[in-house]
């Protein structure tokens, strides 16, 4: 099952924080509109983010929607220029319907 829509709104690349712990950073602003996720199912999408590479770290994310206790969200760099967002419905008796919202994701390339 694919996301209904996932649009990259803004990507900012730079090295502004963490006093040299990361040699490159990406601050993403995303519009996420996941499809309805069936009980015990998942919704996955791959975003093209120029410059990211295997070994880069998703430092954190902020979802603009109540995730409920039944949503398990994983965001990771899967290949060069590719970031995967996977939302799993841990609820076994009903669908998970997250509203469309703006998310923030921070990715860093370790200097160590």
Instruction: Give the number of domains in the chain.
Output: 1
pTM for this structure?
0.82
Q: Give me the CATH number covering residue 20.
A: 2.70.40
Q: What is the 3 state secondary structure string of 31-56?
A: EEECCCECCCCEEEEEEECCCCCCCC
**Average pLDDT for 11-19:** 69
Angstrom distance (rounded) from CA 7 to CA 38: 22
Whole-number percent of the chain with pLDDT over 90? 54
pLDDT tens per residue across span 39-74: 999 999 999 999 999 999 999 999 988 776 678 999
Mapped onto helix, strand or coil, the DSSP state of residue 20 is helix
Whether 23 contacts 63, CB under 8 Å? no
25, two tokens: 């950073």
Q: What is the residue range of 62's domain? A: 5-110
Residue 72 Cα distances to 4, 7, 21, 35, angstroms: 18, 21, 28, 15
**Average pLDDT for 86-91:** 90
């Amino acid at each position: 099952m694919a996301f209904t829509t996932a649009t990259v709104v803004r990507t900012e690349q730079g090295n502004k924080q963490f006093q040299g712990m990361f040699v490159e950073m990406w601050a993403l602003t995303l519009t996420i509109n996941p499809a309805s996720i069936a009980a015990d199912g998942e919704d996955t999408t791959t975003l093209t983010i120029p410059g990211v590479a295997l070994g880069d770290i998703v430092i954190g994310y902020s979802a603009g929607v109540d995730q409920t206790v039944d949503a398990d969200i994983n965001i990771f760099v899967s290949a060069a220029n590719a970031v995967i967002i996977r939302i799993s419905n841990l609820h076994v008796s009903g669908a998970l319907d997250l509203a469309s919202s703006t998310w923030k994701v921070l990715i860093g390339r370790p200097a160590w």
